[in-house]
Structure 1
Amino acid sequence: MTDSIPLYLYKLIPSTSPVLEPIPERLPVSDIDHQSGFIHLSTAFQVPNTLKFFFKDEPIVYVLRIRYERVEQDIRWEDPEGKVCGPRPNEGLFPHLYNGLNLGRQEVESMAVWRNDNGWDNALNRARPWLIY
């Protein structure tokens, strides 16, 4: 973990909500984001456990990379809700985007499509040059 400001934040989206290119002006809002009233994001350090906790059975995940400076004014660093996910030690606060649930081409810098190959380790290893803090 680091206390420095990240260069990028990441939004993980399940295969049941495929993201097509070009990325639309506004992406559909997930149920958890709608219920929370904000968009759940992760730092590069948090992505592995977010994958393993929330997306362990997903065959494919769309990973959106968002330049932090584009959304910084609408980010709140908060603890994850205990009822949403159990304790996740050493992950610190999570970036939550409070901008009226708007996420689309204006915010997303690039996208990757990762495949679950009996776990996420292979996808994470291949993503190292792209998945940066």
Structure 2
Amino acid sequence: MMREKISAQVSRPMGIRRWRKGRGFSIKEIHEAGLTLHKARMLDLPIDKRRGTLHASNVQLLRSHCIVIPLTEIKGIGNEIALELKEVGVTSVQDLIYCDVDVLSTKIRSSAGTLKKWQLAARIIVENL
């Protein structure tokens, strides 16, 4: 089960306060939600670079959609290994999915095979949200 696509809500022009589905989230909304553009693209969020508005409802939607899942949710990762992963920049399950296991295995004391198993478990967790 994949996560459903979310879309930004924008107000219609000419001062009429009716809402319609927008092309994507503005850069201001993405930054206000605590995301970077790179992370938003990795999460496959629609981005509209032409919009300059900041709507609180869109920021709230982004925050609720991008819930950070702790590393300790994965079987085999305890507090000690989670701390080790955080020291090299992997702070959440989503970060673990997109990291290069060969590079990561040289930085921490886990093998590439173990990291691939953790990546698979992380993908399953994210897909089942």
Query: Would you tell me which structure has more helix in proportion to its own residues?
Result: 2
TM over 0.5: same fold?
no
* TM-score, normalising length: structure 1: 0.26
Structure scoring higher RCO (CA < 8 A, sep ≥ 6) equals 1
Query: Would you tell me which structure has more strand in proportion to its own residues?
Result: 1
* TM-score, normalising length: structure 2: 0.26
